[in-house]
Amino acid sequence: MKAKLRRTGIDALGDIAWGTHFCQFYHTTDDLLSILTPYFRAGLESGEFCVWVISAPLNRQEALRAAEVGIPRFGDYLARGQVEVIPHTEWYLKDGYFDMKRVLNGWLDKLDKAAAMGYEGLRVSGNTGWLEADSWRSFAEYEEEINNFIGKYRMLAMCTYCLDRCGASEVIDVVNNHQFALIRRDGQWAIVESYERKRVREILEQSEANYRALVESSPDGVISFDGKGTIIDCNEEVCRLVGVSKEEIKGKDFRDLLARPVPQEFSSNYARLAQVGQVEDEFEILGRDGQVVPVWAKTVALYESNGDFNRAVVYLRDIAERRKVEQLKDEFIGLVSHELRSPLTVIVGAINTALSEGDRLSPAETRQLLQDAALEAESLSSLVWNLLELSRAQADRLVLHPEPVSLEKVARNAVDRVKHQGSAHQSLQFLIEVPTELPRVYADELRLERILCNLLDNAVKYSPGGGEIRVTAEANDDNILVSVIDQGIGMSPDDQVKLFGPFQRVEDSRAHGVRGAGLGLLVCRRLVEAHHGRIWVESERGRGSAFRFTLPL
């Protein structure tokens, strides 16, 4: 059971968890009281129900007097019934003999009473001054039983033993039957653990650290909550998702993390969790700054050894990115389908007209129809080529075939091809400015031509008013800079940043009614990067653009 730590009031100990059973070895009555008084004081001040079972060297009168001196307002606590001081004859040796069952049940009754009266829990101490050699064995068994039972309860127990009445083997017994012992050494209280317990604790700590590391290294958010839905623990990823600290999340109701309205499906899944063991669903949580974060969640029920459902673990995965990609994919499919269909419509139309009207058409008209069809087929093939190239690049299957290439020749081929497509306006002028002494570049010639074709295609498409389109190249220290420069519509600085991402199109270009899937520049970028170069744009709205890329020498 995990709960807030309890203040012991004992400096050497600090805070401990509910369910701790420890002992104190004392020499003198002062030793005994120097631990007991602050122990009970801390308990009473923290709203716990306290039971102090006394025996020699203290009688009830002396104990009460010591408590009144050491604990402010002790009389009030006593009158209110928050503390009971019971002689051992009325507790351990009630009816004249020691009965383990009766004493254990006695503690359970006190726990019930503490809960019924609204106290935080039960803090007890029992003195063993009454123990004789013949009862030692059965009392040791009782101590062992307390060890087994206390972990489940909101209870702290300190047993006090007089060191002078214990032989070496008794000391070993006592140390073994408690989680640790307080012993006075050189005037200071020190904590002693049995070897076995220390080993178990170290193993537990190691296992806890391993478990922590495992949970913390998970890319998913991990939350554990109890049967009522109260969050017990979580990892850092949850804090990142929700934007608050672990301490703030713990103790909250898990359902409070969800964005409103909570989907009906979540509530029904959650209601049947205990029966089905695990459920998976997608819902939205309330993230940082009120942002809504879509998550995929797998919730797994955990059961007690008797089969009772008492806890669950949720794994949360941020799927905002995935949703965005899905949406982008849908948009892309729509856009590409449209881009594929438009040229096909023209091609089919031209062929049908040529077939049905063949006889009536002049040779010039037939030629025009075929030219239209060829132009659209060219754009279709270009789009398909870009798509294939992109899918190769995404799958890391882009294989280049580099060789020494003359840039002048590649530029000429690309310009010819674009000019040939016939979409270029009469008023457009193409210029190739590549110095004759420019060294050959080591590149994939076909790919290089496609990069230039894509850029030239754009330069033509986005120069509705005509003008000059220049392809230039110059050698720098370690690379060759190639530019395609137009005098077209240009673009704003914001748009320049986005252009090389997938499916990016500038609003202006849509307004100009120019078709495009927003793929050309992405393909250019992938191809230039595959050549270990860089690509960018310099542009001014209304003045034109210069698309530039480098190729390492």
- The secondary structure of residue 9, as a DSSP letter, is S
Stretch that binds ligand ADP, among 95-103, 415-423, 426-434, 505-513 (CB under 6 A): 505-513
Instruction: Decide: is 518 part of the binding site for ligand ADP (CB under 6 A).
Output: yes
CA torsion sign for 192, 198, 204, 210 is positive
Answer yes or no whether residue 516 interacts with ligand ADP by CB under 6 A: yes
Strands (E), 304-388: 309-318
> Measured from the CB atom, is 257 or 346 closer to ligand ADP?
346
Q: Does 382 bind ligand ADP (CB under 6 A)?
A: no
Pair type for strands 49-54 and 83-87: parallel
Q: How far is the CB of 289 from ligand ADP (least distance, A)?
A: 32
Residues 441-470 that bind ligand ADP (CB under 6 A): 454, 458-459, 462
Task: Verify binding: residue 414, ligand ADP, rule CB under 6 A.
Answer: no
Count of residues near ligand ADP by CB under 6 A: 22
Q: Which is nearer to ligand ADP, 155 or 491 (CB)?
A: 491
What's the full length of the chain, in residues?
553
155-162 sheet: strands from edge to edge: 83-87, 49-54, 122-127, 155-162, 20-26, 181-185, 188-192
Pairwise CA distance, residues 142 & 108, whole Å? 14
Phi/psi of residue 548, nearest 5 degrees: -125, 145
The nearest distance, CB 457 to ligand ADP, in angstroms, is: 7
Interface with ligand ADP includes 343 (CB under 6 A)? no
Q: Give least dist CB 490 to ligand ADP, A.
A: 6
Residue closest to ligand ADP, measured at CB: 516
Of the candidates 33, 491, 527, 551, which one interacts with ligand ADP according to CB under 6 A?
Answer: 491
Q: What are phi and psi of 282, to 5 degrees?
A: -120, 130
Strand-pairing partners, residue 161, are 25
Residue 489 binds ligand ADP, judged by CB under 6 A: yes
Per CB under 6 A, the segment of 45-53, 209-217, 374-382, 485-493 that binds ligand ADP is 485-493
For residue 244, the Cα-to-chain-centroid distance in whole angstroms is: 13
Indicate the residue among 24 and 458 with the shorter CB distance to ligand ADP: 458
DSSP 292: E
Stretch that binds ligand ADP, among 326-334, 402-410, 472-480, 517-525 (CB under 6 A): 517-525
Identified binder of ligand ADP from the candidate list 114, 316, 521, 528, rule CB under 6 A: 521
Amino acid at 105: N
Shorter beta-carbon distance to ligand ADP: residue 254 or 549: 549
Interface characters, 49-88, with ligand ADP (x: CB under 6 A): ----------------------------------------
Residue 549 backbone zone (phi > 0: left; psi -120 to 50: alpha; other: beta): beta
List, in order, residues 6 or more apart from 257 with CB less than 8 Å away. Answer: 242, 249, 285, 286
Residue 521 Cβ, how far from ligand ADP at the closest point, in Å? 3
Cβ count within 10 A of residue 293: 20
Using the rule CB under 6 A, give the single segment among 119-127, 211-219, 313-321, 504-512 that binds ligand ADP.
Answer: 504-512
Q: How far is the CB of 484 from ligand ADP (least distance, A)?
A: 8
Distance CA 383, CA 460 (A): 16
Looking at the Cβ atoms of 73 and 338, the one nearer to ligand ADP is 338
Question: Could you tell me the two tokens for 447?
Answer: 């790919």
> Measured between alpha carbons, how far is 475 from 545 in angstroms, rounded to an integer?
21
Residues that bind ligand ADP (CB under 6 A): 454, 458-459, 462, 486, 488-491, 499, 504-506, 509, 516-522, 545
